[in-house]
A and B are shown apart, each in its own frame.
Chain A
Amino acid sequence: MSKVVSMREAIAELVHDGDSVCLDGFTHLICFAAGHELIRQKKRRLTAIRLTPDLVFDQLIAAGCVERLVFSWGGNPGVGSLHAFRRAVERDRSLTLEEYSHFGLLARFLAGSSGLPFWPLKNFGGTSLPEVNPALRSVVCPYTGEALATVPAINPDVAIVHCQRADEEGNAQAWGLYGAQKEVAFASKRVVVVTEELVSTDVIRADPNRTLVPGFIVSRVVHEPWGCHPSYVQGHYDRDNDFYVAWEDVSRDEARLARWLDEWVYGVPDRAGYLQKLGAARQAQLTAKPRRSAGVDYGF
């Protein structure tokens, strides 16, 4: 049965005030369309989970959606700061932080996706991280006697996973940088798959090694072309680096950031409206040049 709905319907149905929401993708496949819909629907008191909050969480923080942030690197990559995040932490003290390193937070996803209560790792010795995060603990290995760091499982209420193609059941295929999409999907209670292309199940079955998330753990499927801009989708469109650079000045000025949200999020009904505003010329500049893989033989 088809699970395809609009972004508005998916967010309204699956994300409630107070939920923990993981919107994954590392530089690649960050679903800004979902972030903007969370803002438009004025979701409140969210626990927002990402390794790199990126611009999308800076926008959610500025819009007042986030109460608690679970993260490991809060900056604008290659550019500078996330200023809404910094204002909330430095000036307003309005955000509760739960801070990890990348490996630490990935290990939480690994435990959550594997049905285990915690995950062991060799990490954090000599650092201040355990002093500010009581979830970082240790265990003695029963085989070697070695002390290992541990992190607890994380099981978000909702995962939002963006991919290149999926069928109506949510069987999702992605390539390029995966981030933690697979682990996040398996760790979460409800999964929204957002896809650039909606394809038939035959297309999925023709290349099964490419499937990252199986449809039977997926709640809803949203077909949202260009759903990641200004992030990118390998084989579809490039990262809008100019947008990331320009965000420095937008987010530094609180009033300007509010105007930006008015114009680009509240001022459009959905992603199609956003793209109309972005314009065909900009989309043409960002459209990926083809670089097809040769394919493989699945015969027997």
Chain B
Amino acid sequence: MVYRAARELRDGDVVFVGIGLPNLACNLARATHAPSLCLIYESGAVGAVPQRLPVSIGDPALVTDSLAVVSQADIFQCYLQRGLIGVGFLGGAQVDRFGNLNTTVVGDWAAPKIRLPGSGGACEIAVHAQRLLLIMRMSKRAFVETCDFVTSPGHRAANGKTRRELGLPGGGPTRLITDLGVFDFDATGEAVLTELAQGVTVEQVQAACGWTVRCAAQLEPMPTVDEAVAARLRALDPQRLYL
């Protein structure tokens, strides 16, 4: 999943890096095929070159040797809202077929079953990033017909409104990368399965998904990790923070 996500990043991309798996994927891409990747963290680091895998997105290693360190207001206004972020990277507790994400609450907001952390910068990243990559493990609890709360907008709201009608400048979700396969989004903004992980069937994907899975005419195999990449990942994450 991390390797597949890393392959989405092109050398020279300006990427807004979130905590967790995206952090690892971005640092893997920078260490392999995309050495000129510009990593931007919501904490204020621009062009970060962390010498250790950051535990948090505010790690001191993001500051040392970065191109710039700016205030958080500058990050969100001048870099993100200005439209300069090429790629955003998000995960969540729930996702629906249009790529709407919930990281706020399971159940009712005022009387929650599970209180999750909330938006952080996720909402505005989903609003403004030119390309948005979603990375999540598949399960029926996570891949839902309707999110309990929409923290970060996808391609269509529950009332059917499109991003254009909602006034959202960014491109919206381009890929939904999971442990079982990869979804693209079609012209109507709906998720379509395009790749399957090794040894996984469409039936297994459907069993882990709360909506009826639509498949592309031709399903491709999800690229597998060779020993060199596996070794690189282990070297990036010696403490097994994410692996």
Chain B: CB-nearest residue to A99? B118
A15 interface hit (Cβ, 8 Å): no
B63 touches A177 (CB 8 A): yes
Residues of A within 8 A of B111 (CB): 93
Number of A-B contacts (CB under 8 A): 170
If A73-B117, A122-B127, A180-B72 touch, whether A127 touches B45 (CB-CB below 8 Å) is no
In the complex, the answer to whether B121 meets A101 with C-beta atoms within 8 Å is: yes
Q: Are B120 and A180 in contact (CB under 8 A)?
A: no
- B42 CB contacts on chain A under 8 angstroms: 102
Q: Is A251 an interface position by the 8 A CB rule?
A: no
B residues less than 8 Å from A183 (CB atoms): 71, 73
Main secondary structure of the interface of A (DSSP, over half): loop
Q: Which of B69, B109, B168 contacts A126 (CB 8 A)?
A: B168
Number of interface residues of B (CB under 8 A): 59
Name which residue of chain B comes closest to A95, CB basis: B115
Contact B118 A103 (CB under 8 A): no
Contact string against A for B residues 46-86, beta-carbon threshold 8 Å, 1 for contact and 0 otherwise = 00000000011111101110000111110011001100000
Contact B57 A77 (CB under 8 A): yes
Complex Cα gap A53–B63 (Å):
22
Contact yes or no, A126 B118, CB < 8 A:
no
Q: Which residues of B contact A188 (CB under 8 A)?
A: none
| Interface segment out of the listed A84-92, A195-203, A277-285 | A84-92
Q: Does B157 contact A (CB under 8 A)?
A: yes
Instruction: Kindly state whether residue B110 has any CB partner on chain A within 8 Å.
Output: yes
Complex contact B56–A78 (CB within 8 A)? yes
Contacts of B59 in A (CB 8 A): 27, 239
Q: Name the residue on B nearest A30 (C-beta).
A: B58
Out of A90, A107, A176, which one reaches B60, CB within 8 Å?
A176
Tell yes or no: A266 within 8 A of B by CB. Answer: no
Alpha-carbon gap, A182 to B70, bound state (A): 11
- B113, B116, B161 pick with most chain A CB within 10 angstroms: B116
Say if the beta carbon of A26 comes within 8 Å of chain B: yes
Residues on A with beta carbons closer than 8 Å to the beta carbon of B128: 122
Q: Is B121 in contact with A103, judged by CB distance below 8 angstroms?
A: yes
User: In the assembled complex, which residues on chain A have CB atoms less than 8 Å from the CB atom of B70?
Assistant: 178
Residues of chain A contacted by B76 (CB below 8 angstroms) = 102-103, 106
Query: Taking the complex as formed, is B12 at the interface, i.e. its CB lies under 8 A from any CB of chain A?
Result: no
A28-B166 Cα distance, complex, nearest whole Å: 35
Q: Which residue of B lies closest to A106 (CB)?
A: B73
The number of residues on chain A lying at the interface, defined by a beta carbon within 8 Å of a beta carbon of chain B, is 57
Taken together as a complex, chains A and B put the C-alpha atoms of A129 and B127 apart, in Å, by 13
* Chain B window 116-152, contacts with chain A (Cβ cutoff 8 Å), 1 for yes, 0 for no: 1111111110011000000000000000000001111
Q: Are the CB atoms of B64 and A291 closer together than 8 Å? A: yes
Whether B167 is near chain A, meaning CB under 8 Å from some CB there, is: yes
Chain A nearest Cβ from B58, distance in angstroms: 2
Tell whether A128 pairs with B109 under 8 Å between CB atoms, given A74-B115, A78-B55, A122-B81. yes
Q: Is the CB of A129 within 8 A of B123?
A: yes
Q: Which B residues touch A85, using CB under 8 A? A: 115
Residues of B within 8 A of A78 (CB): 19-20, 55-56, 241
Encoded as 1 (CB less than 8 Å from any B CB) or 0, chain A from 224 to 248 comes to 0000000010100011010010000
Q: Is B100 an interface position by the 8 A CB rule?
A: yes
Once A125-B168, A127-B153, A129-B151 are accepted as A-B contacts, the answer to whether A176 and B123 lie under 8 Å apart by CB is: no
Q: Determine whether the beta carbon of A101 is less than 8 Å from that of B120.
A: yes
A128 CB to nearest B CB, Å:
5
Q: Which residues of A contact B123 (CB under 8 A)?
A: 101, 103-104, 123-124, 127, 129
B151 nearest CB across to chain A (Å): 6
Least CB distance from B193 to A in Å reads 24
B65 to chain A, nearest CB (A): 9
Q: Is the CB of B121 within 8 A of A27?
A: no
Give per-residue flags for A148-179: 1 if the beta carbon is below 8 A from chain B beta carbons, else 0: 00000000000000000000000000011111
Chain A residues within 8 Å of B63, by CB? 176-177, 234
Please give, as numbers and ranges, the residues of chain A lying within 8 Å of B150 by CB-CB distance.
126-128
A interface residue numbers (CB < 8 A to B): 26-28, 51-52, 71-75, 77-78, 81, 85-86, 89-90, 93, 99-104, 106-107, 109-110, 121-129, 131-132, 146-147, 175-180, 182-183, 232, 234, 238-239, 241, 244, 288, 291
Give the top 4 A-B pairs by smallest Cβ distance, nearest first: A27-B58, A126-B153, A75-B117, A73-B120
